[in-house]
Amino acid sequence: MITADKASLAVPDMTTLKYVEPAPMGSSEEGKLVTTTIHAYDLNQLRQAWRGQLMGIAMMSFMHIYMKYTNPLVIQSIIPVKSVFESNLAKIHIFGQPASGDLKRPFKQAQGFMSAMQGGGGAQSDKKAVEAAEKAGRGGAKEE
């Protein structure tokens, strides 16, 4: 069921969102506090998804053109469409699901092999982690 009213599409959600971004893999640093808006967070997530899709296209183009490898091309043409419709942004903005539970921002990152070994999750948005990061002075500048 696709629902989209014109009011929700025209007005971006400028509600402030604070979360602690995890440190880069292999780094001994603490996480960084990020203060942004829901609209800016969604745009950032959209940019990351777009870069991921472009990277997949580039790799498949290399395999197809340079290495003359054609077997995974059929599957690779279906996976991006499937991932778009399963993304959190599509569920919220296209299908009109409420942003609660698993769709609450910041979105939980998919658990991969390396993150499971490190015991790390995604961004932390609980009040305790945000206050600890504010007191430590790690980040906190509002992203525009």
pLDDT (tens digit per residue) in 87-116: 999 999 999 899 888 888 888 876 555 555
Residues in the chain: 144
Q: Which of 37, 48, 33 is nearest to 105 (CA)?
A: 37
Q: What is the mean pLDDT of residues 62-85?
A: 82
The boundaries of the domain holding residue 77 are 34-120
Residue 67 lies in a domain: yes
> What is the reported pTM?
0.73
- Residue 5: its pLDDT value, please? 53
**19 in a domain, yes or no?**
no
128 in a structural domain: no
Total domains, the chain: 1
Does 91 reside within a domain? yes
114 domain-assigned: yes
Does residue 84 lie in a domain region? Answer: yes
Q: Is 103 contained in some domain?
A: yes
Whether residue 106 is contained in a domain is answered as yes
- Output b/e per residue, 102-124; b: 16+ Cβ within 10 A: eeebbbeeeeeeeeeeeeeeebb
